[in-house]
Every structure is written in structure tokens, then in C-alpha cells.
Structure 1
Amino acid sequence: MAKDKSVKKLEDLPGIGETSAEKLKAAGIDTLEKVATSQPHDLSEKSGISVEAAKKAIQAAQEATTIEFETGTNIAEKRQALGKISTNSKDLDELIGGGIEINAITEVYGKFASGKTQLAFQLAVNAQLPKDKGGVDGKVLFIDTEGTFRPERIEEIAKAKGIDPKTALENIMVVRATSSEKQMLTIERADSLIREKGIKLIIIDSLTALFRAEFLGRGALGERQQKLNSHMHKLQQLADKYDVAVYVTNQVMDNPGILFGDPTTPIGGNIIAHAATLRLYIRKSKEDKRIIRLVDSPNMPDGECIIRVTSAGIKD
């Protein structure tokens, strides 16, 4: 079906004037794609037009939108060109398929002081490196929800990687989010910052802390999960649209239903589990060692490796 190039916005659809368009936008139907997938009676009710007019608008919206297809070969070539961000550990990179993926959300969960934030610092520095040195030649958006961002750690890690510490810090845009609304709003408005600054890595440390603190009790669980779902969806949209990597840390709790084995369970339930492309569980071992287990990946088998958290950053 040929695309109708004359229809570019809601107001261009037959029977949809400015008033009807505003009603649709207020109801959350703000794109041609959403009109194209609407039911006539639902569209009629929300826009104030007749059912017959709604049918014509839906048909016009369907004709104005197209579905683009790519071969698996094309996608493979693009993914290869985008590169990955090294974790600074060869063992960990190998475990997850070469490093932190672009166009994907990587979640790392674990208990307090397990090393989630230290890995975030390492990635914030490594992302600035050229591709042939394990980076993606980009800047970083770091959303700090727990007051854990430490410039001195960035400086230490940057020195170890041969990067000027001041330059490394200048390339990291830090937002101190003190509420879930500010955390979500930062991501909702991130498009212009990503374009202007050349952001290639988004870090949220931690993803669930504010939601967990603000939405207490079973009565608030539904709203919390709905907001987390929307938040993760926007993160994936940004990752896909701008070829960005997303790294999020997650808090945990002990699941009383697990009587044998490790009861540690990440916050967020199935919403986070389904939205994250790759999930890692990190836990403390002896001295500076940490054990990382690959819990879920679309292309790599489950496995474990050991890393070290040192003053110079992540090491094997």
C-alpha cells in the first residue's frame, strides 16, 4: 500500500479538525499510528465525530503509515558497526557477548555495596573511549537517584584509562533525581540532550529506589508497576532511536517464598524482567572480588565470572 504523503499529522485526516485532534491528543491518541490501530467506535467517542467519519479517518491513517522491513543481514551489519562498551573485564565482556550493548537495556541487580555503582562508573569512563579501545566515542547521561555519584572515582578510573580526568567529568551529564517524577521527566525530555551532547550511554543508579520509597503497600503496587513500565518503554525508545546503551542498577529484596538457595530477588517484578534486554546478578565475594551471574540474555548462555573492584576500576 502506497503511503499517502499528504497526511502528516492528525489534522490532515478526513473528518478530524483541530478540535477533534486536540480531544484525541488529550486521550493519548497523538500519532497517526495510534489512529490507524484504533477501533471506529472508540475513536468516535474520544474525538466527537461520527462512527462513519472515524472509519474514514482510520483508513486514511493506515494508508499514511508504512511498515519498514529489514533483512537479518542488514541488522547484523548495523549491530556490528555500532560496537559495544567494554566493562574493563575480559571475562565479563566474554560472558555478555563483548560488552554492554547499544540499543539495549542492561540491568545489574545486587545487594548494597555489591559493586553495581562501581561498574556504572567504569562504563561512564569507557563509553568515552574510541571504538577500537572498547568505547563508543560518546558522552554519558548519569541519573543519580541515591546520591552515589562520586567525581573522585571517575577521576581515578579515567587516569587508569589514560583519559584526562577533567575531560572525563565534563563528558558526564549528571542529574540528581530526588523523586520518581523527576527521574521519569529527565528521560521524557532527554531527546534534545542526547542529540546536542552526543550521549551514547544512559545510566540510572538506581532504577527502582525512588519508586520503592514512594509507592508503599499493595494498594500502590499497580500504579508503581505502571509507571515503571512506561519508564522502561521510554528508555528502550531512546536506545533504539539514538543508538544509545542503557545501564540501570536495581535494588533487591529477600523473597520469603524461596526456602532453598539464594532468596535474593530484584525489585520491579516481571515489568523490569521483560523490559531489560540483559540481566546480571552481582554479589560480594572475598576481599575485592565480585561474582557476576548472567541471568537473562537473548543471545548468550547463562554463566558466571569473577571481577575485581579496585581503586583503578573494574579488573579481571
Structure 2
Amino acid sequence: MTEAVGMSGGLLSECGLPSSQMMKLLSADFTTTDDVKDMKPSELSQATGLSLKECVEVLRTASNSHHPSPVDMLQIYQEGTELPQIVTFCKALDTLLGGGIPLQAITEVSGMPGVGKTQVCLQACVSVQLPKSVGGVGGEAVYVDTEGSFTVKRLKDMASCAVHHVGTIGGVAEDVSGFTIESIMKGVHYFRCQNCVEVLAVVKNIPKLMLVHPNIRLLVLDSVSFHFRHDFPDARDRAKLLRTVTKELIQPAVTHKMAVLVTNHMTTNVKEKGSATLVPALGETWGHCPTLRLNLSWCGPTRVAALTKAPHCQNSSAYFQVSIGGLRDVSDNMQPSTAGNLQHEPLTKKRKIMESNDR
């Protein structure tokens, strides 16, 4: 998928560069445009001996020589259906999302304080590490905490229940002894960011972090709105930086087949005639950035998740609860009496890990 939608590298010798520059490039083992596309002029100059001015021209010429390579829709469909999804241990919520939290996409979870946004993030950090033998992703997580709401004890509680659950699944051919509380805790890489600059620095550093931890399959940003709402009184400056953050989030998601999960606050949208409604913060500019938007709210004493934006699922709702072990389904007798047909049929195959909940 990545190679197909990306740029195909051509030979530098076909870019029309002067022979003197080509000799130095070839001597330093630079033969294709892909070899230089991510380099800075200073780095290329140090590696080849070319002047900074010459390096700027080489990089500009190499960049202009790239041409998009088309890919047929059947290939995109086949590769998309083969990607696993991160289950939430709540069947209703997974069904709502079309099978779970998708990879190669940005999923936003919004809602009022205390409704369960961070709980969804913690559950995802555990679920992303489920072994592949039981339908999991078998990856690791990066947690970027901007509010200080991350709780190690909650993560450990969820990890303990997940380990017990996987250990009781019958018919598992492969050994899951490596899936332990310790391995789960070790598989979550935590960053505490105090301002927007630190958030952007961490996000930009994800590709380098993956060189050390190549199994990272989930990036959590909890929350995207905390610093951006208070540090940027000018909406234009905020919108510009949000576009930069979005670009930095989606690039590793697509390239490394990661899921990006962000939380967002709610704000009051005042309409004409004094009416007002609660909407996710950061305005319409940010609203176009997430691939999926999930809004959490209360229906009496019961939590409800409403899918308001998704390219592969219809907008609908599902009830869920937060237990000691993490996210779980709500029993029929606990659902509000106004509950209708809130869910739609899942679009992906069932997982062993979720099927076992019926046992």
C-alpha cells in the first residue's frame, strides 16, 4: 500500500544534473532520487563535498523528478481488508467502528470530562499488544500526555484482565506466554508534554523512535486540544500549526501502518437567537483532519459513543461501560429504555479475542 501510493525513485543520472555534480554523487553512492529525497542540503554537502548551493539545486531537481504512481482500486481494497484493527474489548463499540480502531487513520474521541476518553486510550494501548494468534495486532504504543491524565494503575488493571482473558481462550495454537502484564507495561512508551512545541517535537520524532521500536502500531495524543486552545489566541496561527501536526500524524500512520488516536475537548457553539450546542473543540479546520470522529456522552447513567464521521461506516451509536478491566459491553437490562437499533452489522471478520467473550 505504501509503495503503491508513494513516489517511485528515478535515477539521478536522468535528472539532467551537471556531470561534475553527478561524479561526486555517484562517488558517495547516491544513485537514485530516493537516496537524497529526505536529506537536508547541509547533510548532502557533508556526504558528497558539493557546495550548499549545489546541494539545494540537486534536491530541488530530484524532488521535481518525482511522479505519482497510480494504483488500482482492487489493490487498495485487498490491502485495506488485510489490515488488522485494534479491538476495544467492547463488541458494540467495535461493531460501531467497523471492527475496531483502524490502522492508517486518525481517530478522534471527543466528549466532556469524565466520560471515558482517556479510558478508551488506555484500553487501546493494551489491545494493540494482543498477540496476532488471537486476532490482535501484536504491536506497541506511544502515549503523548498533555494533561497529566495518564494513570499507570489503570493501565495495569486493564493489562491484568487482558492477560487473564487471553490465557483462558481455548484452541489457541501458538504460545501466548510472552503476553504478560510486564510486557504490556513495557510496550507503552510515555511522553509528558507541557506545551505545543514539545508535542510537535515528539510527533516529529516518531520515525526515529520506530528505528528503536519498530513494532509501534499506535500513537495516542491525549489531548490534541489542551495546549492548542490556550497557547494560541490567534485562530489563524492555531490553524496553521494544527495542519502541521496533522501532517506529522498521518505520515507515520500511513507509512508504518499505525493507528493514531487523539482526544478532544468540547466547546459551546453559540447559534442565532441565543441557542447553543456542544461541539468538539478546535473548529472546522481541525474537523477535516480526523478520519473518524467518535463523540462520547451520557444517556442517564450509561455511556454512549456516537460515530459522527467515518468513510467506511454509517453514523450510528453504541452503549459501553468502563469497568475495572477496561471497556466492556452494557448488558441489555442496563441499557436505557429509549435504546433502538443503534448498531449496524460489522464490516470486518470476527476476531477470536472477541468471539471468546461469548464463552
TM-score by length of 1: 0.79
- Report the counterpart of residue 5 of structure 1 in structure 2: 11
- Deviating above 3 A after TM superposition, structure 1's stretches of 4 or more consecutive aligned residues are 12-15, 56-62, 131-134, 258-262
The 2-side partners of 1:260 and 1:301 are apart by 31
The answer (yes or no) to whether the contact 1:89–1:314 under 8 Å persists in 2 is: yes
Which of 286, 299, 305 is the equivalent residue of 2:312?
299
Q: Is 1:242 aligned to residue 256 of structure 2?
A: yes
Q: Secondary structure at the match of 1:161?
A: helix
Q: Secondary structure at the match of 1:255?
A: strand
* Consecutive unaligned residues in structure 1, runs of 5 or more: 18-30, 34-46
Q: Secondary structure at the match of 1:263?
A: strand
- Report the counterpart of residue 313 of structure 1 in structure 2: 326
What code does the residue aligned with 2:183 have? T
Tell me the CA shift for residue 169 of structure 1.
1.0
- Report the counterpart of residue 160 of structure 1 in structure 2: 161
- Report the counterpart of residue 137 of structure 2 in structure 1: 136
- Report the counterpart of residue 84 of structure 1 in structure 2: 85
**Equivalences for 1:74-223 in 2 at 5 Å?**
74-162=75-163, 163-197=179-213, 198-216=215-233, 220-223=234-237
- Report the counterpart of residue 287 of structure 2 in structure 1: 273
Q: Deviations over 1:262-315 (max 9, x none)?
A: 71111121222111000011012344x311111001111111110011111100
CA 1:262–1:298: 2 relative to 1, 3 Å? farther
What code does the residue aligned with 1:71 have? D
Q: Deviations over 1:216-236 (max 9, x none)?
A: 2xxx11101110111011101
What code does the residue aligned with 1:313 have? G
- Report the counterpart of residue 27 of structure 1 in structure 2: none
The answer (yes or no) to whether the contact 1:13–1:57 under 8 Å persists in 2 is: no
Q: Is 1:226 aligned to residue 240 of structure 2?
A: yes
CA 1:269–1:132: 2 relative to 1, 3 Å? farther
- Report the counterpart of residue 296 of structure 2 in structure 1: 282
The 2-side partners of 1:79 and 1:228 are apart by 27
**Equivalences for 1:254-265 in 2 at 5 Å?**
254-257=268-271, 263-265=277-279
The 2-side partners of 1:129 and 1:60 are apart by 42
What code does the residue aligned with 1:159 have? S
Tell me the CA shift for residue 259 of structure 1.
6.5
Q: Secondary structure at the match of 2:288?
A: helix
Q: Percent identity?
A: 27
What code does the residue aligned with 2:104 have? N
Tell me the CA shift for residue 165 of structure 1.
2.2
The answer (yes or no) to whether the contact 2:37–2:62 under 8 Å persists in 1 is: no
Number of residue-to-residue matches in the alignment:
277
The 2-side partners of 1:252 and 1:61 are apart by 41
- What is the aligned-residue RMSD (CA, Å)? 2.9
The answer (yes or no) to whether the contact 1:126–1:134 under 8 Å persists in 2 is: no
